[in-house]
Each structure stands twice: as structure tokens, then as C-alpha cells.
Amino acid sequence: MSILSLIFLFMIFLSLQWKTSTSQTWIKAGYWYAGSENPMPNINSALFTHLICAFAYIDPSTHELVLKASDEPYISSFSSSVRKGNPSVKPLLSIWTQNGKFGNVGNSSNFLVMTQTPTYRKTFIESSIKMARAYGFEGLDLYVATLLNTKGNMTSLGNLFNEWRVAADQEKLILTVGVRYSPDLDSMSYPVDSVSKNFDWVHIRSYDYHTPMTDNFTGAHSALYDPSSHMNTDYGVNEWIKSGLPASKLVLGLAYHGYAWTLVDPKDNSIGGAPAKGPAITPDGSISYDYIRNHMRSYKINSLYNSTYVINYCTIYSFWIGFDDVEAIKNKVVYAKKMGLRGYSVWQLPNDHNWELSKAAAQEDNYRGHHKRIFVIALCTTAFFILLIGCIISNMRKRIISKVKQVMVMMMTLMNSGKSSYHNQQVISFADIREATNSFSEENKLGEGGYGPVYKVLSSSVYKY
């Protein structure tokens, strides 16, 4: 095998390895809620692969998608705005499925009714694709994280997902879905097989496990682990995988908000379980990461990090606040990599005005991805040089064997000539031949004939008369 052939094979091998290591895009997604206090933030889109605009709503009477009048100007310009900072970013439009046109908190009974009628499903699908195309979105996201809280018939969901996938493929649109942290709740379950088959990936809502509106005690609302409860991200991820959804389709939710409780005992600063008497600071206790950091700086206090739950918390007077800081975000990205997940998605972007958390997540991803690529290249290069050295040694060995054979042929020819009937021919020893040719020196080589190389004789001692 020639050196050029080896180089060609090496390039093919390296390209295959590179393709394998980068065949699936690591998702770095972020939700932007059009109804947020900052309606059009200057999104640092270079930190993301996909940006999701929320929300479009389903009209309960027509089953078509509609937009809130105040949101429409921002949603209509969302795609062009985020592409200015990153032309390769893919904008998606998220669809709210709870009752009400404008995202009212409630159940999803109207959505389930829509899924049971073929004509309603068709109307919904056609209007969703029409809206996506009209506003320059490259995909659609269905937010059904609260669907399992609804009592209703979910058997038609699979039909909707199947029909939507066919229509989306024709338009070359991405389809994603936002779900609860685990696939089951009481007797209700997501149709996991249909979810796995029809969606490009699944956003897990891995936060809001405990809130001041639902619990009279403090709790880690976005705990990665919780030794005392199943309400944690690791449990939910493993339940989704056990139910049949590949880890490579799961995208981990990251929370850019926290919750504040009013403590019964202001001195109780434990990570969870401290008696509380409702929310603090805001009506429902929810606080953006930016507000938490500014509040902590104002009071000159630092947060505590708990490695068991993977969460930060602090106490300000009688308020207990739980949230994710840079360290928690990095550890959750590491967890997603370790579990073989598809990536992460953020709720929501305006809560990280200085992009402190987003940079932490993206840098962790770049660091690990960079080292993975270096490892693949180093492995391929080492394999190539081992193969190259092996071929060189093999070629040298063949040449040496060939020369030895040529010498042996010459010796046998000379020895056989001693047996000739011509009386004036004689047998010449190998030692005499070696002496006469100066150990078969290249300088004494005259050329090559049919029986091998021909040498000039230096000594007359080989001639014996």
C-alpha cells in the first residue's frame, strides 16, 4: 500500500469520526415570553442554537392559532431580530395549550376536545403552519407541561401528533414539545411512543417542584436530586427514559427564576422544609435571577450552594429564596452531558439580563465539546501513524527479503556451475565471492541480469588455475 493511499484512507477515517462526533446538534435553547416585563430584550443569540418565542394561543371556538394583540408586533419581528446576532440560530414559535386565548392559568380541556375531532385537528395544524411561515419561524413548539393536570381523554393525542408530523415534514419544520418533568401523574400519562416518534426533541419542565403558592414550607423548586422525594429532575429524566423515550431526545429545562417564601422563623435557613407562611416580595413569590442578584448585592449577602439538591439559596430578613446560580447551572449542564441528553432549554431569557447564566451554560458546553473533538482527532491521528509505521516496516522487510533472495540465487547459480562438464570451470566458495565483491558493495555493482545483480571482481584470488 502506497503512502498516498494511506493518507487518503486516513482522511476518510477522520471525516467519519468527525461526522460521528458532531452528527447530532447539542441544543442550547431559550424561551422568550412576549408578555414579560421587558417585551423585546436584546437577546444574545450567539449563545443559543434555538430561540423559542412564547406564546401563540388556540382559539377555543375556531381551534385556530391566534396572537394577543399586544404581542403581535414583537412576535412578528422576533425571527429577524434574533438572527441579527446569530444568522444560524433557529427561531421556533411555542403554542400554549391551557384554556383561554391569552395564557390564563387553567387546565387543557379545550385542547383535548380539539384533538378528538379530525376536522378540528386539521384546522389547528394548518393554522399553526401558516402562522409559522408568516412570521419566519423554522419550527413549532407545543407546550403541554400541565396537560397531565387535566382530566380528559388523551387517546387522540397520538393522532394529532402523527398528523402534525406529516404536515411539518412537508414544510420542513422542526417540531418540539414542552412536557412535565416526568411522564406520569396519578392515572394520567403522556403517549410516550407517539411523542418519541413525532417530535424532534422534548423540553422537560424540570423546575417549579415547590412554590410558595402550593407549599407551606421552603423547598428546592429546581432540585436536580432530592433524597427525600421523587420531585426532582434526576428522577423525572430516568422515568422518561424507562418509559421508552431515548435520552438523545430529552432537553433539560433550566430555570432563570427562583421563589421567595416568608419564613415562620427568620433564623431557619435550612435548604428545605422550613415552615413558611406564603410568598414573599411578589404576589406568587416568583423572582427573576437578575432581581435576586440585585437584591443580594443591595443587602451585601452571598448565597449558599447545596450540592445535594444542586441549588443556591439565601435568607434576607425573614425571606428564604431558592434559585440557580452559575455553579448550579454548570453542574446541570454537566449532568445533561453525562446522561446523554440532547441539550438544555432556558425559561426564560429576560430573567438573565446580563447573560451571566447563559454564558456559564454555553462555556461549559464549549469546553466539553472542544475536548471531545480534540480527543477524537488525537485518537484518529495516533491510529494513522501506527498504521503508517506498520506499512513502512512491512515494505522494508519485503525489500530486505527480496535482496537476500537475489544473493541466494546468485550463489546457487555459481555453485551449480561447478558441476558443469567443462573441466576448466571450478567451484568458488561464498567467502571468496564476498571478498572479491567487497561484501557485495554497491560501488562494485555493474548492473542486474536475469539471474540477479552482477559485481566487478576486485581480487584475483578467486581464479585458481
How do the pLDDT tens digits run along the chain, 465 residues long?
555 554 545 454 444 444 444 457 999 999 999 877 655 568 999 999 999 999 999 999 999 999 999 999 999 999 999 999 999 999 999 999 987 555 555 568 899 999 999 999 999 999 999 999 999 999 999 999 999 888 777 889 999 999 999 999 999 999 999 999 999 998 899 999 999 999 999 999 999 999 999 999 999 999 999 999 999 999 999 999 999 999 999 999 999 999 999 999 998 988 889 999 999 999 999 999 999 999 999 999 999 999 999 999 999 889 999 999 999 999 999 999 999 999 999 999 999 989 999 999 998 655 444 445 545 555 666 767 787 787 778 777 777 766 655 666 666 665 555 544 445 555 566 677 777 777 777 777 777 766 667 767 655 555 443
AA identity, residue 397: R
Chain position carrying cell 407549599: 215
Burial class (CB in 10 A: 0-12, 13-18, 19+), 31: buried
Measured between alpha carbons, how far is 417 from 420 in angstroms, rounded to an integer? Answer: 5
Return the H-helix or E-strand segment holding 346: strand 343-347
Residue boundaries of the structural domains of the chain? 23-255+326-360, 428-465
Dihedral (C-alpha) 230, 231, 237, 242: value to the nearest 10 degrees? 40
Contacts of 25 (CB under 8 A, 6+ apart): 49, 343
Question: What's the pLDDT at 135?
Answer: 97
Instruction: Give the model's pLDDT for residue 397.
Output: 73
The model carries a pTM of 0.75
* Lookup: cell for 150: 387535566
pLDDT score, position 453 = 75
CA distances (Å), origin 263, targets 222, 295, 316: 19, 17, 10
Q: Which residue do the cell numbers 410516550 mark? A: 192
**What's the pLDDT score for residue 17?**
46
Instruction: Look at residue 100 in the predicted model and tell me its pLDDT.
Output: 55
CATH of 23-255+326-360, one of 3.40.50.450, 3.40.50.720, 3.90.1150.10, 3.20.20.80: 3.20.20.80
**440 conformational bin, left if phi > 0, alpha if psi -120 to 50, beta if neither:** left
At 387, phi and psi to the nearest 5?
-65, -40
- Cα separation of 231 and 227, whole Å? 10
Q: Residue 154: its pLDDT value, please?
A: 83
Q: How far is it, in rounded angstroms, from Cα 274 to Cα 267?
A: 10
Cα distance between residue 207 and residue 224, in whole Å: 9
Q: How far apart are CA 397 and CA 400, in angstroms?
A: 5
Q: What are 180's strand-pairing partners?
A: 205
The pLDDT of residue 429 is 66
Q: For residues 381 and 253, what is the distance between their CA atoms, to the nearest angstrom?
A: 37
DSSP 8-state symbol, 63: -
Whole-angstrom distance, CA of residue 453 vs CA of residue 451: 7
CA atoms within 13 A on the CB side of 247: 11
